[in-house]
């Protein structure tokens, strides 16, 4: 049976958080492609017009040349900007990621903690988007629209360096100091509204030990499952369980080898740079310029 091909797209390596979530659930039912736009990274420093002009043609071409069946825009900044334009010009399903404000507020309501606030941790570009501001206005009414916004490019660069095994002079506690040093915020939940941030979720949790952190990793994986009928077909579920049992008998390193995972970037990687990402299970690399 021919595997469906899923393309994950991000400005950097942040989308690996969502790719990992999907592959941990569906394993080898899909062939995975990960395209990151390291040429224009970070997106939060680029004008919207430039991103629209560059990204829509890039992703459209990737879909055509790689024969992609489904696209995940694993980038909040890009998702809040290009989803409509991209869906107008491609024929395959396109899934985007948006800040998980709805489940964050639902959690506070369920816990009876509506006096607490939601922290929205994102890039500077994401928190400035009219679309995100509308989400905040719509979903946070039950808590009196009590939301604290923290937009940071430094945190994205911190994660990027960490995942790619590069040195960094960024300090996590200093980056998050506006929240750490403000006891009046009364945070009850923090929304990780950038796909980079779940990759250091444990580190962030150490700084906020009593606060729930929410991301969109599982939501995206579940959405893919709905599109492909994983939650309806008993046969597919049985196959998945059989594969899970198989994975329990092999080493983690071998788990990576059985997956078809391909890495692409808009700016050519050196052999050393690819080696720094190869441990994520990629079997090959391709330069895919704008």
Q: CB under 8 Å to 253, separation ≥6 — which residues?
A: none
234/251 Cα distance (integer angstroms): 28
Binding site residue list: 10-11, 43-44, 76-77, 195-196
Pair 73, 9: CB distance under 8 Å? yes
pLDDT, mean of residues 147-156: 96
Q: How confident is the model at residue 256 (pLDDT cuts 50, 70, 90)?
A: very low
Q: Which of 19, 11, 70, 73 is nearest to 256 (CA)?
A: 19
Residue 254 reports pLDDT greater than 50 = no
75 is catalytic: yes
**Per annotation, catalytic residue among 40, 75, 220, 269:** 75
Above 50 in pLDDT, residue 107? yes
**What is the per-residue pLDDT for 252?**
45
Q: Is 217 a catalytic residue?
A: no
Binding-site positions for substrate read 10-11, 43-44, 76-77, 195-196
- Count CA atoms closer than 13 A to 151's CA, side-chain side: 13
Whether pLDDT at 168 is above 80: yes
User: Rounded mean pLDDT of 13-37?
Assistant: 93
Return d(Cα 214, Cα 34) in angstroms, integer: 23
Distance, CA of 60 to CA of 113 (rounded, Å): 44
**Domains identified in the chain and CATH numbers:** 4-97+220-276 (3.40.50.1860), 101-214 (3.40.50.1860)
Q: Is the pLDDT of residue 234 over 80?
A: no
pLDDT of residue 166: 85
Reported as a pLDDT band with limits 50, 70 and 90, residue 202 is very high
Per annotation, catalytic residue among 13, 194, 264, 269: 194
Task: List the one residue out of 15, 35, 45 whose CA is nearest residue 198.
Answer: 15
């Amino acid at each position: 049976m021919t595997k469906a091909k899923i393309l994950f797209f991000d400005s950097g390596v942040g989308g690996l958080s969502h790719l990992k979530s999907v592959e941990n659930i569906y394993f080898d039912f899909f062939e995975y492609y990960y395209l990151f736009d390291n040429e224009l990274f970070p997106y939060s420093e680029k004008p919207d017009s430039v991103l629209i002009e560059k990204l829509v043609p890039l992703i459209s071409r990737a879909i055509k040349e790689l024969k992609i069946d489904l696209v995940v825009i694993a980038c909040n900044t890009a998702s809040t900007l290009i989803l409509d334009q991209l869906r107008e010009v491609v024929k395959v399903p396109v899934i985007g990621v948006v800040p998980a404000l709805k489940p964050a507020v639902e959690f506070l309501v369920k816990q009876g903690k509506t006096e607490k606030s939601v922290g929205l941790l994102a890039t500077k570009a994401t928190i400035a988007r009219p679309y995100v501001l509308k989400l905040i206005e719509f979903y946070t009414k039950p808590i009196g629209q009590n939301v604290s916004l923290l937009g940071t490019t430094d945190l994205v660069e911190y994660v990027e360096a960490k995942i790619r095994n590069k040195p960094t002079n960024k300090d996590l506690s200093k980056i998050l100091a506006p929240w750490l040093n403000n006891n009046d915020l009364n945070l009850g939940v923090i929304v990780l509204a950038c796909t980079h941030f779940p990759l250091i979720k444990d580190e962030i949790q150490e700084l906020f030990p009593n606060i729930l952190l929410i991301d969109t990793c599982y939501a995206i994986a579940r959405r893919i499952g709905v599109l492909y009928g994983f939650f309806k077909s008993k046969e597919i579920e049985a196959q998945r369980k059989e594969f899970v049992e198989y994975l329990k008998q092999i080493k983690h390193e071998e788990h990576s080898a059985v997956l078809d995972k391909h890495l692409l970037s808009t700016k050519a990687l050196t052999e050393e740079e690819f080696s720094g990402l190869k441990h994520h299970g990629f079997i090959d690399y391709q330069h895919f310029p704008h």
